Amino acid sequence: MMRREKIILFFLLMLFSIAFFSCNSKKAGQGIATSTYGGTASHNVGTACLSCHNSGGSNSFWWYVAGTVYKPDESSLNPNSTIYLFTSTNGGGTLYAFIPVDGKGNFYTSSMVDFGSGLYPAIKSSSGETRYMQSSTKNGDCNSCHVALKRIIVN
């Protein structure tokens, strides 16, 4: 890709992320909460986030997508990675959303995500490795499926 195309793509992604993360709070009056690179506000690493962060839960924010990222040893956390949601396999189709992974290895957003007929997640580590989930999902509660021996991992 030429330098000019990369710059244009970068600015389009920035505009998309601003629009995506500035709308659609799930809990009225609470604003938007999304994990940030290096952030340390998250907690309960590895647990099913939406078991508390949902319409019946006691937390201030309700997540549409949330989970935890690990290194290949499946016990070390992998902070500052990025979660991507695509409309097709292996990063194909359209990039629907991306969510930063915080400094504790968790990611979350209260911005509405319409999974429609399914989205295909990808994870990119801060070192640049990208892994793709080969099946689509209609569920943003990632830790409800990705538990011990099936964790979200990237090197």
Summarize pLDDT for 75-113 with one digit per residue, the tens.
Answer: 999 999 999 999 999 999 999 999 999 999 999 999 999
Q: Are strands 152-153 and 65-70 parallel, antiparallel or unpaired?
A: parallel
The pair of three-digit structure tokens given for residue 47, joined into one six-digit string: 């647990």
Region 26-55: what's the mean pLDDT?
82
Full domain range(s) for residue 42: 3-153
The pTM for the full model equals 0.79
**DSSP one-letter string for 109-124:** E-B----TT-BEEEEE
Q: CA-CA distance, 79 to 13, in Å (whole number)?
A: 21
**DSSP one-letter string for 46-102:** TS-GGGTSSTTSSSS---SEEEEEE-TTSSSB-TT-EEEEESSGGG-S-EEEEEE--
pLDDT of residue 148: 79
The region that residue 128 occupies, defined by phi over 0 for left and psi between -120 and 50 for alpha, beta otherwise, is: left
Q: CA-CA distance, 26 to 104, in Å (whole number)?
A: 24
The count of structural domains within the chain is 1
User: Residues 3-25: pLDDT tens digits?
Assistant: 666 666 555 555 444 444 444 43
pLDDT of residue 32: 84
